[in-house]
Structure 1
Amino acid sequence: MRPPLAPLLGRRSRLRWVHLILGGALFMPYWLVGTVVVGVLTGEGSMFSGDLTTQFGAYAVGLPLAAITSLFPLTRPMSVAAARALCGIAGDRFTGDRLADGPARGRSAKARTAGWFTLHLGVGALISGATLALPPFAVAVMALPFSPSLQRSELTAYWGLHRPWLQWAGLPAGLLMLLALAAVAAGAGALLAREAPRLLGPSPADRLVAAERRAAELAVRNRLARELHDSVGHALSAVTLQASAARRVLDTDVEFVREALAAIEETTRRTVGELDSVLGLLRDGEDDGELPAPRLDALDALVRGAGRQVELTVTGALDRVPDAVSREAYRIVQEGLTNAARHAGGERVTARIALDDDELEITMENALPDRAPVTRPGGGRGLRGVGERARLLGGTSEAGPLDEVWRLAVRLPLGPARAGGDR
């Protein structure tokens, strides 16, 4: 059951009260400047005069000064941080955070920031003043029936509280003053919390920047996910295939077992290096635009790790392929070998890489298995990744059964770099 005073004195209301007092503290320098200005204009000798006209005149001068200084770039980040921590603003269920990040951009965002800063400091100054002045007065009124010294004070005579029944009425009156102060502070805090998303919320420019940042982060995550899928998935498939073949001929072909163990060792060592590089990027949270992926010059080691059933034919000078194309082509060949290892049932796999002046062509074929391959839950990402890699380079990718073989055909344009010559 919710306590009856929770709306006034609950944790959220207390934090919002602190937020208002923070606004009052921030307003103090502006108020001091305002008292100097008003003192000069009115001829008031003391800048701390108790005259209400002087006090509210300084308040009126300080508000425009606060609005002007709110145009500094750090104003919105600091205001947003304070509002998030103290105002209890829940995030939007569809778009997430309802407050903007970073300095205000554009005239509209700066005007809304100035409006929020002025509102926060203006309301906070009033609530802070009441918080400093009203509780001592309310306590004094409540203590009046029990304190002879207070009963003889000039303040009691000024307010006409010398009558005993009025002094005892100070008990409920003081309590009502404190409750009224809490209610006003809670209402002012709720007002600021309601206005914060409108005044400190993201502008269209902020939303565009945030969307671009999220898109860049997702692109990096997708790239890293493709690297992990292709390198680790291929390594596990190759190791499984080699270990299975070695187990079957363990007693009859020692030389093959030795080759299989060497291939397993080479494959795992290479994959651990790639995995460390990718995990390093994930750990650092950075992307320099170039993932540490192997290139086509590492195809020999890749084919050795895949086993004896892989036959590779290369036409053209692969060392002249641009680095970006070389990296993606290596991963495409790797995924093709992984796919064949999972579904070809140990049949021979032929891989052909042909290079001409304009494009790199990759063709991989293996006999269709007698039985349809078992569909793995969540599988099918490999060929999808091959298509994504090809499209990113402006190429094409086709995969499917053709004349009793499974065929993967990929064409990658070479771009500005041109390669030629055979070896």
Structure 2
Amino acid sequence: MFKRIRPLLRGSTYAGALFAYCGALASLPLLPFAALPAMAWPSVSLGVQIALTVLVWSVLIGVIGLARTTRRVLVACARRMLGVPLPDPVGERRPADRLRTSLWLLAHVALGWAGAQLSILLFGAALLLPGGWAGAEAGVSVHGWSLRAESGWQSWVAALCCALLAAALCPAVTCALRWLAPRLLGPSSAERLALAAERERALAERNRLAHELHDSIGHTLTAATIQAAVAGEVICADPVAARAALRSIEESTRAALEDLDYVLGMLREEKAGTAPARTLADLPELLDRLRHAGAVVEPGLSGDHAQVQGTLSRAAYRILQEGLTNALRHGAGGPIRVTVTAAPDSLELGVVNRTRTGSETRTGSGTGTGTGRVPDAFPTSGHGLPGLRERVRLLHGDIEAGPDGPEHWRLAVRLPVRLPA
């Protein structure tokens, strides 16, 4: 029983009814214009004039729904007053969407007028039926239709029923509008496709930012940890080398903070500054930071790197950064070979490092026996390699990552310079 009367106790129920009644009142300024054709045709009967006025009035209300901004305003109002989760309209308004907006306006006004008139009638009956205290006869008559009750308790019961019916009209009108709102103001098939495309773009952007953050911060933390260890070892024997390592830590962490500020600004949907656009031109600086960390880097650069620009150059930098980070983190300390070959139709990237073998291996995720031992430079989990594969796939390239002989790990990536149409 309580569940049935619960809507009568909610403020949102009366907010929805007020929304309907306000829609009815908002249509009143159109009534004088709707009455002009009937006034110009005085020879017809009163009933025809009323029907003509209502018809013209409905047409004028429907025409307002065809305006471009009407749907957006109505969606915002329905979302606020009715509590219906309607998305903002997207894309170009189609004739079918404008027609649905006009139908919503007509239904909104019709429900508002019907609910308001019935509420006034029922509340009036609730006040007048107990005629004894009002000094009037216990009854109500409207256009020949009469409602009367005997004096005494019958009139009070009838009045209570009318009051309850008037109160029940509010949730009825609100429920009707809430049922109509998704069907007439909700997204059409074209809008759903546009919303899905927008969500896909947002998700792709967030994934790209996650990759950027992983590559930048992961590399910086790995390099800074090793550089700090080197500085601690040589701070007494070679203060110059220690200071160089500390300067490298400062430079790399400052660059990582710029990346972090940019990514956090994008995730908070703030107006972020200029995105850190590190490209292949910044590769020498990246290799210098590795050398300050104690790594031996053997670069092999060939071809015209100037032809690699834009997204491809930025992606190539991030791929090499991730590959070098893995080599620095998991490698056995030998030389790291880095190759960048720019051809007219492709860009080839490679990172080869020595892996830990024998006593340097670690136990994998198996049982700890001989078959469960995996070289530490062979990453088997985490976000590094999956992120690289996803980045290369989006650029329509090819990637190979795995053992290169018994003692080396090799990362090879080939990216097309001109993406397929």
User: Is this a same-fold pair by TM over 0.5?
Assistant: yes
Identify the residue that residue 245 of structure 1 maps to in structure 2. Answer: 230
Q: Is the 8 A contact 2:315 2:391 kept in 1?
A: yes
The answer to whether the 8 A contact 2:75-2:88 is kept is yes
Shift of 1:331: 0.9
- Tell me the CA shift for residue 372 of structure 1: 3.7
Deviates more, 1:15-24 or 1:402-411: 15-24
Instruction: State the distance in 1 between where 2:52 and 2:341 align.
Output: 84
| TM-superposed deviation, 1:279 | 3.4
- Partner of 1:389 in structure 2? 391
| Residues 345 and 250 (structure 1), Cα distance of their counterparts in 2 relative to 1, 3 Å cut | farther
1:355 is aligned to 342
Following superposition, the deviation at residue 206 of structure 1 comes to 0.6
Matched, 1:135 2:123: yes
Identity of paired residues, percent?
34
Q: Equivalent residue for 2:75?
A: 80
Alpha-carbon displacement from aligned partner over 1:127-173 (angstroms, at most 9, x marks no partner): 1233345434532444x32244x569x99xx9999x99537643322
Counterpart residue number, 1:179: 164
> Which of these residues, 221, 225, 230, is aligned with residue 210 of structure 2?
225
Per-residue deviation, residues 183-231 of structure 1 (Å, max 9, x unmatched): 2343232222222222222211111111111111112111111111111
- What are the residue-to-residue correspondences of 1:147-162 with 2, within 5 Å? 147-148=134-135, 150=136
Superposition map of 1:273-292 within 5 A: 273-284=258-269, 291-292=275-276
Q: Over the residues paired in the alignment, what is the CA RMSD in angstroms?
A: 3.6
Q: Which amino acid aligns with 2:213?
A: L
Q: How does 1:33-72 map to 2 (within 5 A)?
A: 33-42=33-42, 58-72=53-67
Aligned partner of 1:29 in structure 2 is: 29
Asked if residue 371 in structure 1 is aligned to residue 333 in structure 2, the reply is: no
Matched to 1:387, the amino acid is R
CA displacement, residues 48-93 of structure 1 (integer Å, 9 cap, x when unaligned): xxx998767644442232123211122222222222223343x5xx
Q: TM-score with structure 2 length normalisation?
A: 0.81
Give the equivalent residue in structure 1 for 2:415. 412
Distance apart, 1:250 and its partner CA: 4.1
What amino acid is aligned across from residue 76 of structure 2 in structure 1? Answer: A
In the alignment, structure 1 residue 11 sits paired with structure 2 residue 1: no
Aligned partners of 2:76 and 2:92: how far apart in 1? 14
* Cα displacement string for residues 106-125 of structure 1 (whole angstroms, at most 9, x for unaligned residues): 33323222222211111211
1:203-218 superposed matches below 5 A: 203-218=188-203
Higher relative contact order (CA 8 A, sep 6+): 1
Please give the alpha-carbon distance, in whole angstroms, between the structure 2 residues aligned to 1:366 and 1:262: 26
Q: Distance in 2 between matches of 1:373 and 1:338?
A: 21
Inter-CA distance 220–80: structure 2 relative to 1 (3 Å threshold)? same
Residue correspondences, number: 398
Q: Counterparts of 1:318-357 in structure 2 under 5 Å?
A: 318-357=305-344
Amino acid at match of 1:337: L
User: Structure 2 CA distance, aligned partners of 1:378 and 1:134?
Assistant: 74
Cα distance between partner residues in 2 of 1:81 and 1:374:
56
308 and 319 in structure 1: CA distance in 2 versus 1, 3 angstrom threshold = farther
Match of 1:298 in 2: 282
SS in 2 for 1:5: helix
* 53-62 vs 130-139, greater mean Cα deviation: 53-62
8 A Cα contact 1:145 1:164, kept in partner: no
| Distance in 2 separating the partners of 1:194 and 1:104 | 25
**Deviation, structure 1 residue 176:** 1.8
TM-score by length of 1: 0.81
**Secondary structure, aligned partner of 2:326:** helix
Q: Which residue identity is paired with 1:121? A: V
**Whole-angstrom distance in 2 between the partners of 1:86 and 1:365:** 63
1:47 matched to which residue of 2?
Answer: none
Give the whole-Å Cα distance in 2 for the aligned partners of 1:302 and 1:190.
63
Residues 84 and 132 of structure 1: CA distance in aligned 2, closer, same or farther (over 3 Å): same
Cα 1:33–1:250 change in 2 (3 A) is same
Equivalent AA in structure 2 for residue 359 of structure 1: S
Query: How many Å separate the matches in 2 of 1:366 and 1:57?
Result: 87
Cα distance change, pair 141–53 in 1 and its aligned pair in 2 (3 A): farther
Q: CA–CA distance in 2 between the matches of 1:132 and 1:168?
A: 23
CA 171–212 in structure 1, closer or farther in 2 if over 3 Å, else same: same
After superposing the two structures, state which structure 1 stretch, 11-20 or 315-324, moved more.
315-324
Ranges in structure 1 where 5+ consecutive residues have no aligned partner: 45-50, 92-96, 417-423
Distance of aligned partners of 1:245 and 1:379 in 2 relative to their CA distance in 1, 3 Å threshold:
farther
Deviation, structure 1 residue 103 = 7.7
1:269 Cα deviation after fit: 2.0
Alpha-carbon contact 1:74-1:103 (below 8 Å) kept: no
Shift in CA distance, 364/378, structure 1 to aligned 2, threshold 3 Å: closer
1:110 maps to which residue? 98
One-letter code aligned to 2:257? V
Could you report, residue by residue, the CA deviation over 1:311-368 in whole angstroms, capped at 9, with x for unpaired residues?
Answer: 1232234334223322111111111111112211433322122233332222111111
5+ long unaligned stretches in structure 2: 366-375
Cα distance change, pair 366–104 in 1 and its aligned pair in 2 (3 A): closer
Q: Does 1:308 align with 2:294?
A: yes
Amino acid corresponding to residue 417 of structure 2 in structure 1? L
Confirm or deny: 8 A CA contact 1:77 1:103 kept in the other structure.
no
Give the conservation status (yes or no) of the 8 Å contact 2:220–2:256. Answer: yes
Per the alignment, residue 371 of structure 2 pairs with: none
